[in-house]
Structure formats: C-alpha cells, structure tokens
Amino acid sequence: MSQLALVIDLNVCVGCHACVTSCKEWNTSGTAGYLADMNPFSKDPTGTFFNRVQTFEVGNFPNTETVHFPKSCLHCEDPPCVPVCPTGASYKREADGIVLVDYDKCIGCKYCSWACPYGVRELDEHQKVMKKCTLCVDRIYDESLPENERKPACVMACPTNARLFGDVNDPDSEAAQAIRERGGYQLMPEWGTRPANHYLPRRKTRITIHEDELIRADNPLYKERQLPMPDADDPTLDETTSW
C-alpha cells in the first residue's frame, strides 16, 4: 500500500519560509474555505497555518550550528490523532496514507490535537474545526495541472529543493531512496506513531589525513638502504629523477 509523505532535507533548508507562505497561499484559496487570520491588522494577530519553519541552535559557541526545521503533519502510519476522534472526522486514507479531517463532521472538540505529539493540528478560529496539512490532496491528483506540478505547494516553492515528495513505501521513489541512502529519520520515535514524513540529517564532508600520508615515510628502497645513501648535503635522487 502506498504512503505518500514529505522528506525534508535539513542539510539544505535555509529557513526562508517560502514553504510556509506558499502552503498558506494555496490552502487559504481552496474550496474547503480559507485559513482564518484573526486580527490581521491589529494587536495580537493570529492565524491558521499548516506548516511552520522553526530555528534551533545546536552546540556551544563557537561550535554552534543553526538548524532550520520545517514542521507540518507527518501523516503518521499509526496516527494517534485518528482513533481518539469521536466523530470519525479525522481519518487516514487507505489508498495513499494521507491523514485528513472532514470539516463537515468535525465538532471542534480539539481532542485529536491533544493526542498528536507534534503540535501540528490547529483549530481554525473562524470555521471552528480542526485543520492540518492535507499533503495538498487537492493538487497532487488534479489532472488539470501539468504533471510536474502535481506536487504539494510547499515542495514547488522550496528554492533549495529541501522538500521531496513521494511514496515512502515504494522503494524506487525519490523519497524512499533519500531516506534509505541519506539517513532519513523520524521525529519522536518514542511514541510509536511511525511518522511517514522523514527528515534528512545535517551532513559534513570530512576526510581524515594522517601525517605519514604527507611524507614518504614508507619508501621501501629508502627504508632498506639497498641503494647507496647520498651524502647529507648531496641532492637526493628523489629531487632529480625517480627510481
């Protein structure tokens, strides 16, 4: 069975928030109604978002690293938000593993948001129903879009290609390959939610060079002194010719 998901590459995310704004733009324009913003132009504005980019600092100065960390619903394979829902409004699709909320059934009790360990569900203050990332279910199957645009809005917007989209259960998909080959991992494995979204870690390319790799300490002929040793102040043969 397929399980669509995002794979987010922390190694190249630059924290530009393009995925945040494109997600908001796409999802606030959809048929399911807008993502409400309350007090947008006055004190304490607040709004519904499906995706956020946060920033963390890892390590002690001067050995610190800044990590930009995008966070949206992880479309868990064992989603704790689904069984707790009293109305069945929260559900996981059999066919592609997307976790969705039926806005016409949701009573706004917020219980699913308590059960999700990741804090990715938000109650829409205007519509009074629970909302969350839909994996752009209204884009990815839309045949009126050109085929290369049938991807989530956030994936399309990312300038560094830090967001990969695909079926993580299909071993040949770009997403599954990235997880396999580039150390993809899941958030909070301790709660057994088996998130479908994975993160690719930061990487550093380092090579280790030892001192004896810089001087020819292991030249066997030199070592065994089979050839006449030149005087100390004579030019060595190494400098003029080679053995």
Partner 1 sequence: MHPAFSVIFLTTLIGAGQGLFLALYTGQLYSVFKVLPVQDSADFYALGSLIAVLLLLAGLFSSFFHLGHPERAWRSAACWRTSWLSREVLTLPTFMGAVAVYGLIHYLGWNPVLYSFRDTFDIDLSLVIGAGASLLGFTLFLCTGMIYACIKQLQEWATPLTVVNYTLLGSASGFLLATAFAAWQGSELTEFFGGWAILMTVIAFITRTASLIRNARIKYKTSLETAIGIRHARIEQKSQGFMCGSFNTREYFHGAPQHIFRLIKWSFLVLVFPIPLLLVSIGLSANALGLLIAAFLVQYLGLLLERWFFFAQANHPQNLYYQTVG
What is the distance between the alpha carbons of residues 80 and 116, in angstroms, rounded to a whole number?
Answer: 6
Q: How far is the CB of 133 from ligand SF4 (least distance, A)?
A: 3
What is the distance between the alpha carbons of residues 214 and 233, in angstroms, rounded to a whole number?
Answer: 23
Nearest one of 183, 167, 135 to 175, comparing CA atoms: 167
Please tell me what DSSP assigns to residue 129.
Answer: S
Tokens of 44: 């304490």
Nearest one of 203, 199, 119 to 162, comparing CA atoms: 199
What is the distance between the alpha carbons of residues 220 and 225, in angstroms, rounded to a whole number?
Answer: 8
Comparing CB distances to ligand SF4, the nearer of 88 and 230 is 88
**51-80: which residues touch partner 1 (CB under 8 A)?**
52-60, 66-67, 69, 71, 80
18 binds, among partner 1, ligand SF4, none (CB under 5 to 8 A by kind): ligand SF4
Q: Binding to partner 1 by residue 11, rule CB under 8 A?
A: no
54 binds, among partner 1, ligand SF4, none (CB under 5 to 8 A by kind): partner 1
Q: How far is the CB of 243 from partner 1 (least distance, A)?
A: 50
Q: How far is the CB of 14 from partner 1 (least distance, A)?
A: 14
Provide φ and ψ at 92, rounded to 5°.
Answer: -115, 125
Taking residue 139's Cβ as centre, other Cβ atoms within 10 Å add up to: 19
Q: How far is the CB of 165 from partner 1 (least distance, A)?
A: 19
* Residues that bind ligand SF4 in the complex, under the rule CB under 6 A: 13-19, 23, 26-27, 50-51, 53, 68, 70, 72-76, 79-81, 99, 116, 118, 120-121, 132-136, 152-154, 157-160, 162-163, 193
**91-130: which residues touch partner 1 (CB under 8 A)?**
105-111, 113-119, 121-123, 127-129
Comparing CB distances to ligand SF4, the nearer of 32 and 176 is 32
Burial (Cβ within 10 Å: 0-12, 13-18, ≥19) of residue 95: exposed
What is the distance between the alpha carbons of residues 106 and 123, in angstroms, rounded to a whole number?
Answer: 10
What is the distance between the alpha carbons of residues 221 and 118, in angstroms, rounded to a whole number?
Answer: 65
User: Which residues would be at the binding site for partner 1 (CB under 8 A)?
Assistant: 17, 20, 44-49, 52-60, 66-67, 69, 71, 80, 83-89, 105-111, 113-119, 121-123, 127-129, 185-192, 199, 201-202
